[in-house]
Chain A
Amino acid sequence: MTAFFQSLGLSYEWAWTVATFAGILIVSLLVMFSVAMVIYVDRKVLGAIMMRRGPNVVGPFGLLQSFADGLKVFLQETIIPSAANKGIFLIAPIITFTVALAAWAVIPFDAGVVISDINVGLLYILAISSMGVYGVVMSGWASNSKYPFFSAMRASAQMISYEVSIGFVLVCVVLFAGTFNLSGIVNAQQGFGLGLINAYAVHPLLFPMWVVFFISALAETARAPFDLTEAESELVAGYQTEYSSMSFALFWLGEYANILLMCSLNTLLFWGGWLPPLDIPVLYMVPGIIWFLLKTFMFFFMFSWIWATVPRYRYDQLMRLGWKVFLPMSLLFVAVTSGYLMATGHFG
């Protein structure tokens, strides 16, 4: 894109600046639009599984429901509880939202279609997603109310626990790919399975890691069955209880942007990103971004499918799964994977 703006007669620095800002604008608009549509899909899938219609009033098939909701919250009044710590109360949703969008800077949608193709892309995503917990903790504390506070405690413990196993899973992938760069990881998957399948998840050492990653992603984004931070039967609405109008909507949007991010990470790290599923020339005629979106939305469908199917975990079960099952298992797989790669001469 820099070259395009340079051809309009701008100097390199200005072209770069304009191109980067344009890229950020396009990506965040697209992410926001997908979030709106994905909320609609989520509700439709839930409706279908529960044998009801889901949203079907606003627009054709209810397609405009999310936009109507957005407009509604935009016009509402922001209520700040009198006992709340005002500054932090207002900053918390902004942090959640900003952090959720910032992580998209390194996601490659297609070969070369990425805002910032940095060397440490995967670490950047880990760093940014570990910031996400602050929005929740700050909102829980600043609300000065007991249910949000419980929710904040739960959220911080839960996110830290599952980040550990996610980290080890990522180490396995990085060992195979030999790079932290997300585009590099996708390119390394081309023809990985028997020279035919473009996916890491077909490898017997990486498939269990993908399962661990998928479940940890559910826990990391606090989706059902791990939505203990907003368990409505115990905590009203968790950390969002005291929020209204736009500050509530920012939480909502940030949460769904994070879910989409986790789905796209599933795609990029284990299922070949923008590459077609099979390494056959005719499949490359479909643009890469179509494959990327198809895979990502398939994972999102799995997320909402799970939401409609499984009951919520108990808190001690959640902690047990994270620390006593996933952590030792992923640690073992890091050792086994590196041993296997050394034995097969992967590192040369």
Chain B
Amino acid sequence: MIQAIAFYFFATIVVASAVMVVMAKNPVHSVLWLILAFFNAAGLMVLLGAEFIAMLLVIVYVGAVAVLFLFVVMMLDIDFAAMRAGLSRNAPLGLLIAAVLLAELLLAVGAYNAGGLTLGTPDGVTAQPEGTSNIAALGELLYGRYIVLFEIAGIILLVAMIGAIVLTFQPPKPGARARQDVGKQIRRRPEDATVMKSPEVGQGVEL
């Protein structure tokens, strides 16, 4: 009973806020609705008993990715009128994408109803062993059966990260503004920066 109420509560909010992401006039509002959708999707994960995935969803998507979205969208100077002007021109493309998504959804539901897919071991999918926590079960799989795939994914992410750094790195131009040397800044003492002078009355100070 309470599960059903919670499920419909979360699901309604996810769908409603997903609609609002598209409908909101202000892009910042769109991002905020998106965050609400993420957060409630995490609630659905908790209901499924996948609390680890739920927490990761909040930490990664709500805590990091969406903050960057918000950051970028807030900084952009967007002309709302110009943005909505393209609506009728882009409508056919949007409808096409919507149709493809609908077809995929129907396909997925159909495949799901046709029965589970059997993967890996010859005797089919292994259910979660009783008594182990979510995290332990995930760890067993990720670092056991799928260790190679997991490490490949890690290497790909590393390469992507290095690539992003290489693309944005600009070597300092010779003659450009001096670079900061933090050690030098910290080593600096009052004696290096100030001089004590006691000029006579009526005399100026020459630096």
Contact = CB atoms under 8 A, between A and B. Distances in A.
A180 B63 contact: no
A149 B64 CA distance: 19
Interface string B23-64: 000101100100100010010000000011001101100111
B113 to A, nearest CB: 32
B56 A88 contact: no
A126 interface: yes
B71 interface: yes
A127 B134 contact: no
Contacts of A341: none
B89 to A, nearest CB: 29
A87 to B, nearest CB: 9
B182 A123 contact: no
A85 B71 CA distance: 17
Interface residues of B, number: 25
B70 interface: yes
A138 B63 CA distance: 14
Interface in A128-170: 128, 130-131, 133-134, 137-138, 141, 149, 152-153, 156, 160, 163
Contacts of A156: 67, 70-71
A134 B34 CA distance: 13
Nearest to B186: A317
A7 interface: no
B133 A119 contact: yes
Contact of A123 (B32, B55, B62): B55
B78 interface: no
Contacts of A85: 26
A120 B135 contact: yes
Contact of B64 (A123, A128, A160): A160
Contacts of B42: 127
A118 B50 CA distance: 12
Given A134-B35, A138-B32, A160-B67, A120 B55 contact: yes
Contacts of B35: 134
Contacts of A137: 67, 70-71, 74
Given A120-B51, A120-B52, A163-B63, A130 B71 contact: no
Contacts of B56: 123
B32 A119 contact: no
A283 B64 CA distance: 43
Contact of B134 (A119, A149, A160, A163): A119
Given A120-B55, A124-B55, A131 B71 contact: no
Contact of A88 (B32, B134, B135, B180): B32
A266 B182 CA distance: 30
Contacts of B71: 137, 153, 156
Interface residues of A, number: 27
A127 B39 CA distance: 10
A203 interface: no
Interface string A167-193: 000000000000010000000000000
Interface in B180-199: 180, 182
A320 interface: yes
A286 to B, nearest CB: 33
B58 A141 contact: no
Contact of A130 (B26, B32, B59, B135): B59
Nearest to B75: A153
Nearest to B182: A320
Given A131-B63, A137-B70, A126 B55 contact: yes
B85 to A, nearest CB: 23
Nearest to B70: A137
A119 B67 contact: no
Nearest to B35: A134
B28 A141 contact: yes
A51 B198 CA distance: 33
20 contacts: A85-B26, A88-B32, A118-B51, A123-B59, A124-B55, A126-B55, A126-B59, A127-B55, A127-B62, A127-B63, A130-B63, A133-B63, A133-B67, A134-B67, A137-B67, A137-B71, A141-B74, A153-B71, A156-B71, A160-B63
- What 4 A-B pairs have minimum CB-CB distances, sorted nearest first? A130-B63, A127-B58, A123-B55, A127-B59
Interface of B: 26, 28-29, 32, 35, 39, 42, 51-52, 55-56, 58-59, 62-64, 67, 70-71, 74, 133-135, 180, 182
Given A131-B39, A137-B67, 7 more contacts: A88-B32, A123-B52, A127-B59, A134-B67, A137-B70, A156-B67, A156-B71
